[in-house]
Amino acid sequence: MKKIFRIFHYLKGYKKEVILNIVFNLLYVFASLFSFVMVIPFVSVLFGIIKPPEFCPELSFNKDIIIDYFSWHLNNYSQIYGVFQCLAIISIVYIFFAFLSALFRYLGMYFLAPIRNGVIKDLRNDIYHKITILPLSFFSNQKKGDLISRMTSDLLDIEISVISSLQMMIKDPLMVIVFLITLTIASPKLVVFIALIMPLVGFLIRKIGKSLNRNSVKGQKQIGALLSTAEETLGATRVIDSYNAEAIIKTKFQQQNNIYSKLMTKILRRKELAIPLTEIFGILALVVIVIFGGLMVIKGEIHPSILIGFVLLFARIIAPMQSVTNAYYNFKKASAAAERIYDILDAKEKIIEKPDAIQMEGFKEKIEYQGVSFSYMEEKEEANIILDNINLTIHKGETIAIVGKSGSGKSTLLDLLSRFQEVGRGDILIDGTSIKDFNINSLRKQIGIVTQESILFNDTIFGNIAFGQEVQEEEMEEAAKIANAHEFIIKLPKGYYTNIGDRGLSLSGGERQRICIARAVLKNPSILILDEATSSLDTQSERLVQESLEKVTKGRTTLVIAHRLSTIINADKIIVMDKGKIVEEGNHQSLLSQNGIYSKLIELQTLSL
C-alpha cells in the first residue's frame, strides 16, 4: 500500500483542484446532512409523534432544545397556515438543499477530472522518461511486452482503481465521519451498538483484501507475459508461418490467456464481496438500532424523533460505507500495479551525470581505454566478466576494426564509449578528459552509430533521417546522396515524405540501412561507430552500403565491428578480441603473419565462400 500512497505525491501539481474538490465535497456532505436532519421535527410534529412545547425555547447548542425550537415553530406555522402549506414549504426547502447537494457533488467531480487525468499523464511521462535514461543492462532482463504492460494496463488499473476512487476517498469518508458525529450527538448509546459490529466487518475486509492483493500481483505479471507473447508473435510472423507453428503459438497464447482469465475471475469475485458484505452488516446494524432504539423510546430515554432521525441518517451512510470498502479493495488490487510501476521508477540509474559536468566541444587528438573492465554483476565473477583490463589508444582520423567471436565483448567495448554502459574499473579518456566528466548529451552528440539492425520509426523518411535534429531539405538530400539513398527515395510515391511504416518494413534491408547511414551523416559526428552494419545484407545491398560507408568514414575517426573481414582489410588498425581481452592488434598483413586467431578467422571465411 505504501506504493499507492506515493502516487498521491503527484497531487502536488494540482493543489488548486484538490482544495476545490475537498471544499465542494464538504458542502455536499453538509447540504445532504441538513436535508435529512430537517425531516426529523417536521415528521414528528405533523404526524403527532411528539407534542411541541407550550412556549418557544431560546435556541442553544443542545439537541433537545433544537428539536423543541423547530417543533414549536413548525406547529405554530401549521396551525396558522394549515398542514398542507407547511408541508409544501418544507418540501421546497428540502428540494432546494437536495439541488445544492447535487450541484456541490457535480462541482466536486468537475475539479476531480483534471486531477484524475493529470496524475496518470504525469505518471506515464515519468515512466517513459525513465525508460529512455535507464542503462542497457536494465533491459537485458526485461521483456518488451511486460514493459508495455506496465505503461498501459498497470496504469489503467491505477486510474480505474485509485484515481477514480479519489472522489470516494474524499466525499464518502467525509460523509461517514460527519454523519457519525451527528449520530453520536443524537445518541451515543446507539452508536456503541454500531461500534460493536464494526471490528468484525474490518476483520473480514482486511482478510479478503490480502487475498485480493496476492492475486492482483499474479494477474499483473500474467498480463505482462501475455503481451510479451503477442509482441514476439508480431515480430516473428515469417518464422511462425515458415515452420507451420501457428497451432503451437496459438496454444501457448491460449494457455496464458486462460490463466489470466481465471486469475481475473478470482479477483473480481473477491472484489465484488465488498458491497454485499458491507450491506449485510449495515442492515444488521440497522436492525439492532431499531430494536434497541425502540426499547429506549419506550423507556423514555430518547425522543421518538431522535430514533427516526438516527435511522434515516444511518440508512443514508450505508452507501458511503460501501463505497469506502470498495475503495479499499480497489487500493489493494491496484497496489500490485503500483509496485510494478515503481520497479521502473525506482530502478537505479547506473549512468549518472556529474552535477558539474562539462560540455564536450569536439574531438581533437585521441581516445584512450585505460585498464577498462566491465561486468554485468556487481561482484567480479569469472563467468560474468565481459571486458577485462582493456588498454587501447585510438588517434583522430583512424579507422579501427574490432573482430572476434560472438560474446568476446566487441559491442560492449563501444557501448562504454557512448556511456550506454558505465565503466566498471579503469577509465576512458577523450583528449585527456574522462568521459564521466562530460555532459552525456554533449558526448553522444560527437558520436554517430550505425548498427546491424536498421532501427527506424513509423514516420516519413524525412523524419527518420532528421531524427532529433532540425535541418533543411537541402541538407537532408546531401546526406542521402552520400549514403547512396537519394536515388531510391525520390522514386517513392511521396519522396522524402513517404511514410515507411512500422520499423520501415515497407523498404528492403539495404534501403533501410542506407537511411540509417544518412541519419548518421546528417548528424556529422566526430566519431563514427559501425556495429556490423553490413552483416545482414545480401551481396548487392552490401556493395551499395559499403560504398556509402566509405564516403562517410573519410576524415572521421571510425570504429568498426566487422563480421565480414573482407570489409576491414584497409583499416588502420585491427583489434582481435577473445573472452573480453585484446589478444591481437595490428594491420591486416601483420596479423596474418602472426598466424593467430585473426588468420584463422580469415581462413574460415575464405573456406566458407
Q: What is the 3-state secondary structure (H, E, C) of 215-234?
A: HHHHHHHHHHHHHHHHHHHH
Residue with the three cell numbers 429506549: 296
Confidence at 358, pLDDT banded by 50, 70, 90: very high
What pLDDT is recorded for position 314? 74
Residue 16 has pLDDT above 80, yes or no: yes
More confident residue, 353 or 42: 353
Of 154-158, 282-286, 487-491, least confident by mean pLDDT is 282-286
* CB burial string 165-204: b at 16+ within 10 A, e below: bbbbbbbbbbbbebbbebbeebbeebbeebeeeeeebeee
Residue 213 has pLDDT above 70, yes or no: no
Could you give the angle at the alpha carbon of 271 between the alpha carbons of 267 and 274, nearest 5°? 160
What pLDDT is recorded for position 383? 46
- Residue 269 has a CB neighbour count (10 Å cut-off) of 11
Let me know: does 495 contact 525? Beta carbons within 8 Å: no
Choose among 276, 383, 363: nearest CA to 322.
276
Please tell me the distance from the alpha carbon of residue 571 to that of residue 319, in angstroms, as a whole number. 78
Residues paired with residue 393 on neighbouring β-strands, in sequence order: 368
Residue with the three cell numbers 544518412: 518
Q: What are the distances in angstroms from CA 250 to CA 19, 86, 241, 255, 257? A: 51, 73, 12, 9, 10
User: In which region does residue 450 sit, left (phi positive, over 0), alpha (psi from -120 to 50) or beta (all else)?
Assistant: beta
**What does the pLDDT average to over 411-434?**
89
The answer for residues whose C-beta is within 8 angstroms of residue 190's C-beta and 6 or more apart is 183, 289, 292, 293, 296, 310
Confidence at 279, pLDDT banded by 50, 70, 90: low
Of 112-116, 223-227, 371-375, 437-441, least confident by mean pLDDT is 223-227
- Residue 13 has a CB neighbour count (10 Å cut-off) of 13
What pLDDT is recorded for position 108? 85
What pLDDT is recorded for position 390? 92
Let me know: does 40 contact 311? Beta carbons within 8 Å: no
Q: Report the residue count for the chain.
A: 609
Confidence at 434, pLDDT banded by 50, 70, 90: very high
- Residue percentage of the chain with pLDDT more than 90: 7
Residue 449 has pLDDT above 80, yes or no: yes
Choose among 120, 217, 213: nearest CA to 162.
120
Confidence at 197, pLDDT banded by 50, 70, 90: low
What pLDDT is recorded for position 535? 59
**What does the pLDDT average to over 78-105?**
79
Choose among 444, 459, 457: nearest CA to 523.
444
Let me know: does 333 contact 150? Beta carbons within 8 Å: no
**DSSP at 504:** G
What pLDDT is recorded for position 343? 82
Confidence at 433, pLDDT banded by 50, 70, 90: very high
What pLDDT is recorded for position 379? 44
Choose among 52, 44, 54, 63: nearest CA to 304.
44
Mean pLDDT, the chain, as a whole number? 78
Strand order in the sheet with 527-531: 447-451, 527-531, 557-561, 399-404, 573-578, 581-586
**DSSP at 570:** T
Side chain identity, residue 469: Q
Choose among 333, 426, 434, 341: nearest CA to 386.
426
Helix, strand, coil percentages for the chain (3-state, nearest 5): 65, 10, 25
Give the homologous superfamily in CATH for domain 456-524.
Answer: P-loop containing nucleotide triphosphate hydrolases (3.40.50.300)
Please tell me the distance from the alpha carbon of residue 362 to that of residue 473, in angstroms, as a whole number. 26
For the chain, first and last CA: distance in Å? 62
User: In which region does residue 471 sit, left (phi positive, over 0), alpha (psi from -120 to 50) or beta (all else)?
Assistant: beta
What pLDDT is recorded for position 381? 45
More confident residue, 210 or 182: 182
What pLDDT is recorded for position 372? 93
Half-sphere exposure of 150 (CA within 13 A, CB side): 24
The answer for residues whose C-beta is within 8 angstroms of residue 243's C-beta and 6 or more apart is none
Let me know: does 370 contact 190? Beta carbons within 8 Å: no
Please tell me the distance from the alpha carbon of residue 440 to that of residue 446, in angstroms, as a whole number. 10
More confident residue, 482 or 581: 581
Please tell me the distance from the alpha carbon of residue 524 to that of residue 533, in angstroms, as a whole number. 18
Confidence at 363, pLDDT banded by 50, 70, 90: confident
More confident residue, 520 or 74: 520
What pLDDT is recorded for position 534? 64
Confidence at 220, pLDDT banded by 50, 70, 90: low
What pLDDT is recorded for position 64? 64
- Residue 422 has a CB neighbour count (10 Å cut-off) of 16
Q: What are the distances in angstroms from CA 600 to CA 531, 592, 603? A: 22, 9, 5
What pLDDT is recorded for position 380? 42
Q: What are the distances in angstroms from CA 205 to CA 213, 219, 327, 335? A: 12, 20, 11, 16
More confident residue, 345 or 174: 345
Burial class of residue 107, CB neighbours in 10 A (0-12, 13-18, 19+): middle
The answer for residues whose C-beta is within 8 angstroms of residue 461's C-beta and 6 or more apart is 489, 492, 495, 496, 497, 498, 500, 515
Residue with the three cell numbers 473480481: 268
Let me know: does 34 contact 42? Beta carbons within 8 Å: no
Please tell me the distance from the alpha carbon of residue 275 to that of residue 268, in angstroms, as a whole number. 12
Of 38-42, 347-351, 491-495, 582-586, least confident by mean pLDDT is 38-42
Residues paired with residue 585 on neighbouring β-strands, in sequence order: 575
**What does the pLDDT average to over 115-119?**
84
Residue with the three cell numbers 506496465: 150
Of the candidate CATH numbers 3.30.70.600, 3.40.1710.10, 1.20.1560.10, 2.60.120.380, the domain formed by 2-345 belongs to 1.20.1560.10
More confident residue, 204 or 404: 404
- pLDDT tens profile 501-560: 877 878 887 888 888 888 888 888 888 888 876 655 556 666 766 777 777 777 788 898
Confidence at 382, pLDDT banded by 50, 70, 90: very low
The alpha carbon of 520 is separated from its chain's Cα centroid by a whole number of angstroms, namely 31
Confidence at 351, pLDDT banded by 50, 70, 90: confident
Please tell me the distance from the alpha carbon of residue 493 to that of residue 400, in angstroms, as a whole number. 40
More confident residue, 421 or 304: 421
Let me know: does 404 contact 396? Beta carbons within 8 Å: no
More confident residue, 164 or 135: 135
Hey, which of 173-177, 376-380, 509-513, 585-589 has the most confident mean pLDDT? 585-589
- pLDDT tens profile 221-272: 777 677 777 766 766 665 676 656 778 777 888 888 888 788 778 777 766 6
Domain boundaries, the chain: 2-345, 456-524
Choose among 469, 485, 472: nearest CA to 548.
485
What pLDDT is recorded for position 322? 65
Residue 287 has pLDDT above 70, yes or no: yes
Please tell me the distance from the alpha carbon of residue 240 to that of residue 225, in angstroms, as a whole number. 19
**What does the pLDDT average to over 386-391?**
90
